[in-house]
Structure 1
């Protein structure tokens, strides 16, 4: 995957072709970098399992294999100068996309097995345990948004044998005005926003907890951080962050399905976002209250980083 990321980066520098309104090598570059982050996160999570590691290893291997097939096919279509996703222009293109659809299903099922293993695992640090479990479930939902993209648009349904079936934009054609770097639509909804946000819960939510644990270790110098040394406080904050993240993911999906650009929210979207901020802030404030009976004598753990387990677990 790292090799494909490097090849794609070189392609971005030397190949000026444009496909569907974006540099032709942008998609394989973004996908390969995303898959690298996803694999490292899963590998780290699998390393936390006290039992079921063999099953986890096989599930991680399936996810890694499906990801590799997906990337090879995306890169193949880039070399051919044509679209990989939603492309049914020729029998070959249709076959490529059908195989890609199959690999996505396999990848999702492999991630589901890992999520189930994490739900059953007894991880000593409860805050870390629930962060890992909930982030894996949110990531599954984020991956599932991809299945919404394969539905034909009204315009495609009105056409006999359309060459493209499916879209990531809602209410506007793919390839229109878009944000720099991400390529997300600026004139209509874009399901890739929720897809991206949901899948990367695997990195962002554990990162929040690691920051809390790091702050807790500095409580001797900064007494106001002493409450973070209480495992129960960290658990409440982890649950609050996970709930706010999940609510934001649902909001982003709802916004896109209504054909609304990320940076052009209407009143309903702004009201929902405000409610998430207010409720999340109130829950965080309540979470910081001292637990009855005094602090729990359980210092935060410092799990090993994902990179240290990539050779041990294929994910």
Structure 2
């Protein structure tokens, strides 16, 4: 007997998350247009690129997390707290980075003034909140044993674990950058942190790729056992892609 993925209604906290994600993604697109029209550089800590990538990445990640975790069976209050916190911190992160871009100063590893220090530390604290919320969803996925097709459950577990890995890489980037910047070499801080960006970027989106694959496999005539094997192969391939990116750019 094949276990099916239950149909889930869009909960209020998920509806809010989708709306916020759309706004953040739109912000990224607007800043991409500003970057192209202005003709300014793509590189550097004060480029419009940062507002673009943060808006697009947080918008996509927030929408993905809201969708993927909607399949998990967990207490409504816990879901609302975790997704609500992730939504709020996504807004804060994108808003502060965008603010600093328009001010023409770096958003990260910037301790030149009291306000810049507050922004940098708030961004770091926001990263910690993101890790806690994703860990909460990961624990819920690992504790889930029924109500989901094995292929989707595997995809959710692997996607969330890879996402935790991406956040750990992000934490390492921040820790190294803060240490170097506090030591008097902010330029080296930006260069060192930037070296891990490719790994961070690739690992961030496993939570989209793997559950989306499992969801699409529902429309095939294949039995659940074969779908699960396909997801297993995809998970291994994705892990190898992350590892390969680390070897090349880490």
TM-score range, shorter chain: 0.7 to 0.9
Give the match for residue 14 of structure 2: none
Pick the structure with greater CA Rg.
Answer: 1
1:242 lines up with 2:247 in the alignment: no
TM superposition shift of 1:213: 3.2
2:174 to 150, 164, 167: 150
What SS does structure 2 have at the residue aligned with 1:89?
A: coil
Unaligned runs of 5+ in 1: 175-189, 218-228, 258-315
Say what the alpha-carbon RMSD is for the aligned residues.
2.6
Distance, in Å, in 2 between the alignment partners of 1:198 and 1:38 is: 11
Give the match for residue 5 of structure 2: none
Change in 2 beyond 3 A, CA 1:105/1:160? closer
TM superposition shift of 1:23: 8.0
8 Å Cα contact 2:42/2:49 also seen in 1: no
Alignment of 1:24-39 (within 5 A): 24-39=47-62
Distance, in Å, in 2 between the alignment partners of 1:41 and 1:151 is: 27
Change in 2 beyond 3 A, CA 1:25/1:160? closer
8 Å Cα contact 1:150/1:167 also seen in 2: no
Give the match for residue 102 of structure 1: 125
TM superposition shift of 1:137: 0.9
8 Å Cα contact 1:87/1:165 also seen in 2: no
Q: Deviations over 1:144-193 (max 9, x none)?
A: 1112213447xx58x953345633547xxx6xxxxxxxxxxxxxxx2111
1:69 lines up with 2:74 in the alignment: no
Unaligned runs of 5+ in 2: 1-23
Distance, in Å, in 2 between the alignment partners of 1:15 and 1:165 is: 27
TM superposition shift of 1:51: 3.1
1:53 lines up with 2:79 in the alignment: no
Alignment of 1:57-206 (within 5 A): 57-121=80-144, 122-152=146-176, 156=180, 161-164=184-187, 166-167=189-190, 169=192, 190-206=195-211
8 Å Cα contact 1:194/1:253 also seen in 2: yes
Tell me which protein shows more helix as a share of its residues: 2
Change in 2 beyond 3 A, CA 1:129/1:95? same
Q: Deviations over 1:64-123 (max 9, x none)?
A: 111111111101111111111222333332221111000011111111111111222233
Distance, in Å, in 2 between the alignment partners of 1:21 and 1:164 is: 10
8 Å Cα contact 1:77/1:83 also seen in 2: yes
How high is the TM-score relative to the length of structure 2? Answer: 0.79
How high is the TM-score relative to the length of structure 1? Answer: 0.64
8 Å Cα contact 1:150/1:165 also seen in 2: no
Distance, in Å, in 2 between the alignment partners of 1:160 and 1:39 is: 34
